[in-house]
Structure 1
């Protein structure tokens, strides 16, 4: 698979993003709730040269038809389990903020950054219809949800900055473990949160792990241009994708941010096979299964909306070679800074990519790009060529 300079991610959504992917004989759905399933797919993604894995999460039950695949493991826990078994690939779990305190999000993602030696990210997401599961507040409208998310990101990033880089002194002679002058209150007061801080964990290897937001609604887009290091977008075609990148960069600049410090990633659903005809036939079969799968009335609307969204979204159903050509066009035209591959059927996509790599007569790109060496970029920020931010409290702010 050719990267041609693009940042390349892969979304690991259970057995795949298609609601009927679990029905394939090769889906490994029976292993979804085992550690081995996730460590295997993350290791495969790393071996294939992907720069990051994106791990979806939600407080809601997944739509689909099989009880065995409608549950969900915690994305941060999955990332933490795979961290010591990987060495290079970025780990970006989703963490919903609607019912999760920013302090807990901050600590969990910081811990992941330490466990992965600087390869952690956080994809911000909200929770829409699961309020009754928590009993703390009513269902919120999109404006309220994303205003709360905006404040949550502000609190989390302030907590990440609340320890300066050299706050740990570990002075055995005096018995001082930390320099209290380098720990800071964040003193945040907003509409949803009032947090004094500081964090209880030191500043992590990246200073601030990578913040990702999907710009798929007006509300989430506003948060993305203000807060995100990575912005994920969808588009029905390549010209629209290019236009969205241009518009986002302009909006980022209007917020007073440097557009060169934000990366725009294009989501690309894919299904790969030995031939384009085989790939199309496999997707038709998935669609037929989805139509005849027993899904409760409560889950039909979400399944229908997901299918409708994917049919209007640019996707690739074909061979690995054709995917290489598409990636090359995206890179050559500056349509996006990277691509997030979203396999309709995860195991089939990984198998096709592995087979293609093994049987390729000659590499299509230089080996340093497709198979980074151990002395390559160490952190996720390094891979994205993004600067490590200094603590905002290093020269100002209230100390303890």
Structure 2
């Protein structure tokens, strides 16, 4: 049954991957981000590119690419993947703070670890198990947060948004501690029950740590392949129904064909959701935290700086 056109009680959040394996020119990334911005999506993501490329494939650094995208866009959030087992806290803090400043407060970062023990060791890490890698990721996130909080001048949005893929249990534990946004990945035939269960488990972990589940945005990360307008409408139906049923706070789309799928998403799926009152038609604020309805983190030294 079609969804009503009544105004939503809470916002529906949308993001999209602009990954393009093998592309070494920044131009296609800029155009993809501009298209996603036209659709008023919350943010775009770009995967980690520090690992060795496969034969015949070239890669660019995600942070550097999105720093190039920043001046060519105005409102959309920019979220590169950062592999913490290859990145020191000071470098991470400096690089992301720079992206946040050049974008006017639109930066985030997806926390990742090396995929294998061998890859971690290549970068000088001695972690022997996935749990150790994620404990190290948490330590890097803690250290980087401390550096951000100590920065003067501070980040335009207080602190760049932290994103964690919480599909698996080990990173879900890290997400419960650190994430502002969490992904739950699905396959081509997404099951709302499994996504809801993962979200409920994450919320329970947050409550156990004393965190408010209302302060985290949980997105279903879906692969999409859109071939015609009818596919775009069907995606809007799925997104609208999952959101209305309280399964998830929004979606992170992973296009199979970046050019074809993103265009149909922006020109087909988005207008249907906007027509039904489920998606905004403008950006109400300027920072990524404002897009996501997340509060600006309080400065830990604010109380000390108040005049007597």
TM-score scaled to structure 2, two decimals? Answer: 0.87
Structure 2 counterpart of 1:144: 132
**Distance in 1 of aligned mates of 2:291 and 2:177:** 22
Q: Distance in 1 between matches of 2:113 and 2:129?
A: 11
Tell whether the 8 Å contact from 2:36 to 2:266 is kept in structure 1 after alignment.
no
What's the offset of the Cα at 1:71? 2.4
- For these two proteins, the number of residue pairs brought into alignment is 293
Q: Point out the structure with max Rg over C-alpha.
A: 1
Secondary structure in structure 1 of the residue aligned to 2:275: coil
Give the root-mean-square deviation of aligned CA atoms.
2.6
Contact residue 95 and residue 124 of structure 1 kept, 8 A: yes
Mapping 1:118-133, distance limit 5 Å: 118-127=105-114, 128=116, 129-131=118-120, 133=122
Is residue 58 of structure 2 the alignment partner of residue 71 of structure 1?
A: yes
Say if 2:305 is the partner of 1:393: no
Deviations 1:348-396 (Å, cap 9, x if unpaired)?
A: 20232355389x79962349x44315xx211111111111011113336
Whether the aligned pair in 2 keeps the contact of 1:130 and 1:139 (CA below 8 Å) is no
- For 1:283, the equivalent position in structure 2 comes to none
1:315 maps to what in 2? none
1:51 to 42, 49, 54: 42
CA-CA distance at 1:48 after TM superposition: 1.9
Higher relative contact order (CA 8 A, sep 6+): 1
CA distance in 1, matches of 2:227, 2:83: 34
Secondary structure class of the residue paired with 1:319? helix
Q: Distance in 2 between matches of 1:333 and 1:11?
A: 25
Structure 1: gaps (5+ residues) = 16-28, 168-201, 276-317
Aligned match of 1:258: 212
The alpha carbon displacement at 1:140 in A equals 3.5
- Distance verdict in 2 for CA 1:217–1:243, change over 3 Å: closer
Alignment correspondent of 1:113: 100
| Displacement of 1:8 | 0.1
SS of the counterpart of 1:253? Answer: helix
Does residue 294 of structure 2 align to residue 383 of structure 1?
A: no
Residue 120 of structure 1: how far off its partner (Å) = 0.6
Shift of 1:60: 2.4
Q: How does 1:21-100 map to 2 (within 5 A)?
A: 32-61=23-52, 67=56, 70-100=57-87
Deviation of 1:72 after TM superposition, in Å, equals 1.5
Aligned to 1:331: 243
Cα drift, residue 137 of structure 1: 3.7
Cα distance in structure 2, aligned partners of 1:93 and 1:145: 19
Q: Contact (CA 8 Å) 1:59, 1:130: kept in 2 or not?
A: no
Verify: 1:267 aligned to 2:256, yes or no: no
Matches of 2:201 and 2:71, distance apart in 1: 39
Determine the C-alpha separation between the residues in 2 that align with 1:153 and 1:91. Answer: 18
Show structure 2 runs of 5+ residues with no match: none
TM-score normalised over the length of structure 1: 0.68
**Hey, what's the Cα distance between the residues in 2 that align with 1:121 and 1:151?**
18
